[in-house]
Amino acid sequence: MTNIAKVAIVGGTHGNEFSGIYAIRQYQANPALIQRPSFETSTLFANPEAFKANKRYIHSDLNRQFKTADLANPDLTNYEQSRAKVINELLGPKGNAKTDLVIDLHNTTSNMGACLIMTQAGPFYNQLAAYVKMKMPEAIISRDEDHLAAEDHALMCTLGRYGVIVEVGPQSQSVLRQDVLEQMHQMTAHILDFVELYNTQSLPALPKRTEAYLYLHSIKLPMNEKGERLGMVHKNVQDKDYHPIHPGDPIFTLFDGTEVPYDGDRVVYPTFINEAAYYDNNLAMSLNDKIWIELE
């Protein structure tokens, strides 16, 4: 295994997710928080213009601009597409990155607690997941399309040799909650501690099996043929991220009062329930399998 020499902590990829933005300011004011002996840590404020505008993004979602082909496409020229190319220069280039690990800090309006999202698979990620869950049992481990090659992933964190997302909530867009910020700091510190132990081959005994969630697909709000919403997430499901949904459970309430049951044929586990940022695409929630990450 190759050591991790450079870590980048990215905040403000979305301009109205305040935890990461204030977290990196705290890291900049007190660098000891993110320094460890065996590697260098830098910070980056990814989308300052969106923060100034108090919006998720100016022209398009920065966290969807990092496919290798898109980074190389000179016709993609808007603010976030340009910013992605600049960040690719700073931290990448993707596929041969000078940054060994990108930690991208995010918030959700959903009741997801502290969630470690991994978009690639392999021994490094499996050990990281086992360590974080051991140190922070309330943390959630999420595997998000980790069967895809990094080059086909559009997420910022896939720019590094390794990359993860720290996702904390619930927190309204454009709000900073102390409790949620503390969750972010706690999970980020565990990741940095893991890298130090990994580099120095000092990892403690790790659990052989770690509970995780594997992303399956997203489902949309009920809509009519004109694309107008006909209903909302059922109140039984609201805030119940990671709680099982059984076939036939009500998942939507239409505005006329009708309840809509889940029409799948097996138990699934929802995440990003009623996330504000996904309304543009009328996404109601993501559905997941519960799985185990096994260490050899």
By CB under 8 A, name the binding residues for a copy of itself: 22, 25-26, 29-30, 54, 109, 170, 172-179, 181-182, 232-235, 238, 253, 255-256, 274, 276-277, 279-280
Q: Which residues are catalytic?
A: 167
Nearer to a copy of itself, 183 or 288 (CB): 183
Q: List, as one string, the DSSP characters of 113-124.
A: EEEEEE-S-SHH
Would you say 14 is a known binding-site residue?
yes
In angstroms, how far is the first alpha carbon of the chain from the final one? 15
CB of 69 to a copy of itself, least distance (A): 29
Tell me how far apart the alpha carbons of residues 253 and 126 are, in angstroms, rounded to a whole number.
39
CB of 172 to a copy of itself, least distance (A): 4
CB of 199 to a copy of itself, least distance (A): 29
Structure tokens at 208: 């052989």
Estimate the share of the chain in helix, then strand, then coil, as percent rounded to the nearest 5: 30, 25, 45
Nearer to a copy of itself, 60 or 174 (CB): 174
Nearer to a copy of itself, 223 or 279 (CB): 279
Structure tokens at 185: 């700091």
Cα angle value 179/119/77 (rounded, 5°): 95
Would you say 17 is a known binding-site residue?
yes
Nearer to a copy of itself, 164 or 180 (CB): 180
Cross-sheet strand order for the sheet of 269-271: 40-45, 6-11, 101-107, 162-169, 113-118, 140-143, 209-220, 283-294, 269-271
Give the sign of the dihedral formed by CA 59, CA 273, CA 230, CA 245: positive
Would you say 49 is a known binding-site residue?
no
Nearer to a copy of itself, 33 or 90 (CB): 33
Tell me how far apart the alpha carbons of residues 38 and 171 are, in angstroms, rounded to a whole number.
34
Tell me how far apart the alpha carbons of residues 134 and 72 are, in angstroms, rounded to a whole number.
40
CB of 167 to a copy of itself, least distance (A): 15
Q: Which residues make up each annotated binding site for Zn(2+)?
A: 14, 17, 106
Q: Which residues make up each annotated binding site?
A: 14, 17, 106
